[in-house]
A and B are shown apart, each in its own frame.
Chain A
Amino acid sequence: MVNLRVDWRASVALVGTVMKWLAVAMVFPLALAAFYGEGLVTFLAAMTVAVAAGWSLERLDDDPDLGAREGFLMVGLTWLAVSVVGALPYVIAGQGTIAHPVNALFESMSGFTTTGATVMGDIGFDTHSRALMMWRQQTQWLGGMGIVVLAVAILPELSVGGAQLMDAEAPGPGIQKLTPRIAETARALWKAYLGITALEVVLLIGLNAVGVAPNVTVYQAVAHGFTTMATGGFSPAARSIEYFSAAVQWLIVPFMVAAGTNFALFWHALNGEPEAFGEDTEFRFYVGVLAVFTGLTAVLLFTGGTLQPTRVGPLSGNLEQSVRHAVFQVVSLVTTTGYASMDFAQWGRPAQYVLFVALFVGGSAGSTGGAVKIVRWLVILKSLKRELFTTVHPEAVRPVRLGGRALDERAIRGIYAFTLLYLVIFFAATTLVYVDAARVGLDLIALDAMSAVAATLGNVGPGFGIVGPMENYRPFPNSTKLFMVFLMWIGRLEILPVLVLLTPAYWQS
């Protein structure tokens, strides 16, 4: 019998607390169900299960004390647990394809991890209730800034060790403590997040009021506020953002850019230092990357050589449309939001490959975006430049600098390790998905399989071909779907905190 060195009871008990609180989040869809006169049973039942399960798990440890190891376990399990609880309404409602438990879990995990990949057959209010569709949107918003960050912000028992928890969850290497108390930092981040979301909702409603956004109801405004700032990508509209006017598409772009920005910068800006944006190396690089990708895509669309004109509207030669769709799609995929302003899977191959590369870029550290993250690419580029220099001058001592600060060599090694691991998992997972698809006779082309893995591991959402923005993940066999649930899970937590749970060294002394 191996002697376990991890106090798993403490971790599980805290996961129980978080599950219990998730019931509170369901009050919103419950109220909507009452408002629209839809059945209340779905959410009441789900809430009961959440409270009961959470309460019984809490009994495992009356006074949970989290160390570093317990922290990893708690964070990892929390995301799994909320996804299971979040899937309950889909199963209980029993409407459409997502009533199947595997599909429900996929949809829920996709929601909380802000992936935005869907297995929903027909998206719309004919099959699904408005309350259920809003719950789907809301899971993304809850997951965006981070369930654990939210838990640290509101649960006093997590104030000690909260930094470790947030570190295990927050996108990007390391966290920035904005205030001396970690719970205050967590609250500051959530306030900025809430504020910008509210601003977007108000502006969307405003566009409707001035008559340039006919399809934007209050419901749609709230629903898209939830999934833009979370870089989620779910939409209650079957055609995603294509359903809305050009004005709406233009408005959403800056909010997606904001969602992929380090939220600490907003906090600094609100504290009277707006210059923080210009001084931040990562932000400058982020804007530069967006500009280059957009420029390239816009040229490809405008010249039209890459379009299959029979299937896509006439973009070529139309400057506004070329630029709008290029910037929207680039920003959407780089920030890992995953909205579509049109079916980009119908674009010509060159433009699609530009977008495919964009799937790996990711948002900034401390943003809600997924994938590898801008800051890691920046550090890798800078350290490669250093390598070239030291090859010629072997004695040169060159720290890699980020915004004037020299980076620790261990941090650089960590970034190399993460990125390599990310790519290894990407290739291995692509192979698995491919093989599993072949097993059930599903015809996949390489780009489709690769994009499906990149889109789930990077928490992006849509890919190309059969997983294009107007398609869904339903055709995959259940085994592949469960595997993708795993990919979304480790992708959201940046792989290492989850993988470490699978090592014997973690569990033993």
Chain B
Amino acid sequence: MRVIIVGAGEVGSSIAASLADAHEVVVVDTDPERVDTLTYSLDVLAIEGDGTSLATLREAGIGDADMIIASTDDDETNLVTCGTAKTVDDPFTIARVKNVDYLETWQHAADRRAFGVDFMVCTNLLTAEDIVRVVGLPAARDVDPFAGGTVQMAEFAVGDGSPVADQTVREADRFDSLTFAALLRNGDVEIARGESRIRAGDKVVVIGSPESVQAFAREVAPAETPSGSEDLVIIGGSEIGYHTARELEERGLHPRLIERDPDRARELAEKLPDTVVMESDATDAEFLAREHVDEADAVVTTLESDEKNLLVSVLAKRLGADRTVAVVETAEYVDLFETVGVDVAVNPREVTAEEITRFTRELHTEKVALIEDDKAEVLEIEVDGDSVLIDRPIREAVADLPDGFVIGAITREGRFIVPRGDTVIEPGDHVVAFAERDALEAISDRL
């Protein structure tokens, strides 16, 4: 496969490095030094030029390319690059953006082809989701958002003392808008039936609304999962900070957010009804003590500079905060942060590069998450008129399909719908389903 990557910063270089072994990779960047470095460090073709220019793309061989990844630091450049590429040929286009509004527009478009983008990755949102997974669902082995965040898939280990251990799925199924998809035992995948018994040592895969997944986590791992009464503090009202708070709110948690700028604080307070926004300098130890940040269960720093994040994290840790999570823009600092005592350092570029690489490897046009080394996957399908699922109750549709297929959640116009036997799926609905490898191969063309 021939892949053109526009933008040779951290994200582009990292993707290029991952793909270089198996694919023909062309990297385009405006900075001659970066082009030079790449030429010698990776087995790729590096070209100097502007990705939004047709001439540059032609030079990169856009006519033969199967895929183009626009990963510069500038949202508009990435969108224009994808649009430009689509005027020449029809390569698969991937754009990286920071602004969530672009992602929403793209998701809103019925065919998901807005801006000429086939797949869009939003750095700020991904990073926030990553932080929330660490802070909000530390017990989860794996968490993946679907349908623009309305649906979540999560994998939990069931411990000895867990309340669902030794219960059947039917007994354990007491959560609104949550579906048990599968039990993973000794590397085998077992579809969750009503009579399946959950044993200690199993892993369970659940699909549901973020709030119900959080509620489930509280039940299976109460010690590790923050509840509404637990104290989560976000320091810094950047876009990542905002989305972190918003995602936590969606899970029924009530974080606190500290922002120094009065106008930004007010703006955030208006947008976040379940978050207590405070206007203060987070390096003010007296303030932190008065607001009992020392007793926080987790402190997330999302300030605009790595140095400030480091300083505040260490300060919070010294005061006595249980766990600290810091956003680190510079990849080289990640280890340093974790060495000096920050529990988790999250690098937005790394998160983005991983997401794009994973997606590229899968090359699915729908979002997927892999379970147990590819033995099964959770996938999101936009249902169209030809699908076997449409216009009849799920009970009937599923009876026609092989066993290893479970419908976990449905979203209709962005609303979450709990799939029940008599639910009728309509064209345009997004279905999040769990499928074993064999089952999926047998039915993929009928979905």
Binding site for B on A (CB under 8 A): 393, 395-399, 401, 404, 406
Assuming the contacts A393-B291, A395-B287, A395-B291, asked whether A406 and B269 have C-beta atoms less than 8 A apart, the reply is yes
Point out which of A397, A401, A406 has the most chain B C-beta atoms below 10 A from its C-beta.
Answer: A397
What is the distance, in angstroms, from B14's C-beta to the closest C-beta of chain A?
38
CA distance A396 to B279 in the complex (A): 6
3 shortest A-B CB distances, which residue pairs?
A406-B270, A395-B278, A395-B280
Interface residues on chain B, size class = 10 to 19
Q: In the complex, what residue of chain A is closest to B265 when comparing beta carbons?
A: A397
Instruction: Please tell me if the beta carbons of B287 and A399 are within 8 angstroms of each other in the complex.
Output: no
B277 interface residue (CB < 8 Å to A): yes
What is the distance, in angstroms, from A385's C-beta to the closest C-beta of chain B?
13
Q: Enumerate B270-302 residues with CB–CB distance to A below 8 Å.
A: 270, 273, 276-280, 287, 291
Assuming the contacts A393-B276, A393-B278, asked whether A399 and B270 have C-beta atoms less than 8 A apart, the reply is yes
User: Can you list 5 pairs linking A and B with CB atoms under 8 Å apart?
Assistant: A397-B265, A398-B276, A398-B277, A399-B269, A406-B269
Known A395-B279, A406-B270; further 18 A-B contacts with Cβ < 8 A: A393-B276, A393-B291, A395-B258, A395-B278, A395-B280, A395-B287, A396-B277, A396-B278, A396-B279, A397-B259, A397-B262, A397-B265, A397-B266, A397-B268, A397-B269, A397-B279, A398-B277, A399-B270
Query: Which residues of the partner chain B approach A404 to less than 8 Å between Cβ atoms?
Result: 273
What is the distance, in angstroms, from A366's C-beta to the closest C-beta of chain B?
23
CA distance A393 to B278 in the complex (A): 8
What is the distance, in angstroms, from A379's C-beta to the closest C-beta of chain B?
15
What is the distance, in angstroms, from B229's C-beta to the closest C-beta of chain A?
17
Query: Which residues of the partner chain B approach A406 to less than 8 Å between Cβ atoms?
Result: 269-270
Instruction: Please tell me if the beta carbons of B278 and A397 are within 8 angstroms of each other in the complex.
Output: yes
Query: Which residues of the partner chain A approach B287 to less than 8 Å between Cβ atoms?
Result: 395
Q: In the complex, what residue of chain A is closest to B276 when comparing beta carbons?
A: A396
Query: Which residues of the partner chain B approach A396 to less than 8 Å between Cβ atoms?
Result: 276-279
Point out which of B262, B277, B287 has the most chain A C-beta atoms below 10 A from its C-beta.
Answer: B277
What is the distance, in angstroms, from A410's C-beta to the closest C-beta of chain B?
13
What is the distance, in angstroms, from A397's C-beta to the closest C-beta of chain B?
4
Query: Which residues of the partner chain B approach A397 to less than 8 Å between Cβ atoms?
Result: 259, 262, 265-266, 268-269, 277-279
CA distance A398 to B268 in the complex (A): 10
What is the distance, in angstroms, from B225's C-beta to the closest C-beta of chain A?
26
CA distance A398 to B274 in the complex (A): 10
Query: Which residues of the partner chain A approach B270 to less than 8 Å between Cβ atoms?
Result: 399, 406
CA distance A393 to B270 in the complex (A): 17
Q: In the complex, what residue of chain B is closest to A404 when comparing beta carbons?
A: B273
CA distance A401 to B273 in the complex (A): 8
Q: In the complex, what residue of chain A is closest to B278 when comparing beta carbons?
A: A395
Query: Which residues of the partner chain B approach A395 to less than 8 Å between Cβ atoms?
Result: 258, 278-280, 287, 291
CA distance A401 to B278 in the complex (A): 17
Query: Which residues of the partner chain B approach A399 to less than 8 Å between Cβ atoms?
Result: 266, 269-270
Query: Which residues of the partner chain B approach A393 to less than 8 Å between Cβ atoms?
Result: 276, 278, 291
CA distance A98 to B435 in the complex (A): 84
What is the distance, in angstroms, from A402's C-beta to the closest C-beta of chain B?
11
CA distance A498 to B83 in the complex (A): 59
Query: Which residues of the partner chain A approach B269 to less than 8 Å between Cβ atoms?
Result: 397-399, 406
Q: Enumerate B209-223 residues with CB–CB distance to A below 8 Å.
A: none
What is the distance, in angstroms, from A393's C-beta to the closest C-beta of chain B?
7
CA distance A399 to B267 in the complex (A): 9
Q: In the complex, what residue of chain A is closest to B291 when comparing beta carbons?
A: A393
What is the distance, in angstroms, from B259's C-beta to the closest C-beta of chain A?
8
CA distance A399 to B265 in the complex (A): 10
Query: Which residues of the partner chain B approach A401 to less than 8 Å between Cβ atoms?
Result: 273
CA distance A404 to B272 in the complex (A): 10
CA distance A406 to B291 in the complex (A): 24
CA distance A425 to B269 in the complex (A): 36
Query: Which residues of the partner chain A approach B276 to less than 8 Å between Cβ atoms?
Result: 393, 396, 398
CA distance A396 to B280 in the complex (A): 9
CA distance A397 to B257 in the complex (A): 10
CA distance A395 to B259 in the complex (A): 10
CA distance A393 to B280 in the complex (A): 11
| Chain B 234-271 near chain A by CB (<8 Å), digits 1 or 0 | 00000000000000000000000011001001101110
What is the distance, in angstroms, from A62's C-beta to the closest C-beta of chain B?
48
CA distance A397 to B269 in the complex (A): 6
What is the distance, in angstroms, from B289's C-beta to the closest C-beta of chain A?
13
What is the distance, in angstroms, from A330's C-beta to the closest C-beta of chain B?
32
Q: In the complex, what residue of chain A is closest to B258 when comparing beta carbons?
A: A395
CA distance A399 to B279 in the complex (A): 13
Q: Enumerate B1-52 residues with CB–CB distance to A below 8 Å.
A: none
CA distance A396 to B266 in the complex (A): 10
CA distance A401 to B276 in the complex (A): 13
What is the distance, in angstroms, from B152's C-beta to the closest C-beta of chain A?
23
CA distance A393 to B233 in the complex (A): 15
CA distance A396 to B265 in the complex (A): 9
What is the distance, in angstroms, from A345's C-beta to the closest C-beta of chain B?
45
Q: In the complex, what residue of chain B is closest to A389 when comparing beta carbons?
A: B276
Q: In the complex, what residue of chain A is closest to B273 when comparing beta carbons?
A: A401
Q: In the complex, what residue of chain A is closest to B268 when comparing beta carbons?
A: A397
Query: Which residues of the partner chain A approach B279 to less than 8 Å between Cβ atoms?
Result: 395-397
Query: Which residues of the partner chain A approach B280 to less than 8 Å between Cβ atoms?
Result: 395
CA distance A398 to B259 in the complex (A): 13
CA distance A99 to B269 in the complex (A): 60
CA distance A399 to B272 in the complex (A): 10
CA distance A202 to B276 in the complex (A): 52
CA distance A398 to B273 in the complex (A): 9
Q: In the complex, what residue of chain A is closest to B280 when comparing beta carbons?
A: A395
CA distance A393 to B293 in the complex (A): 13
CA distance A406 to B287 in the complex (A): 26
CA distance A70 to B279 in the complex (A): 43
Query: Which residues of the partner chain B approach A398 to less than 8 Å between Cβ atoms?
Result: 269, 276-277
CA distance A393 to B269 in the complex (A): 14
CA distance A226 to B277 in the complex (A): 50
Query: Which residues of the partner chain A approach B291 to less than 8 Å between Cβ atoms?
Result: 393, 395
Query: Which residues of the partner chain A approach B268 to less than 8 Å between Cβ atoms?
Result: 397
CA distance A209 to B262 in the complex (A): 66
CA distance A396 to B290 in the complex (A): 12
CA distance A404 to B274 in the complex (A): 11
What is the distance, in angstroms, from B312's C-beta to the closest C-beta of chain A?
15
Query: Which residues of the partner chain A approach B262 to less than 8 Å between Cβ atoms?
Result: 397
CA distance A397 to B271 in the complex (A): 12
Query: Which residues of the partner chain A approach B258 to less than 8 Å between Cβ atoms?
Result: 395
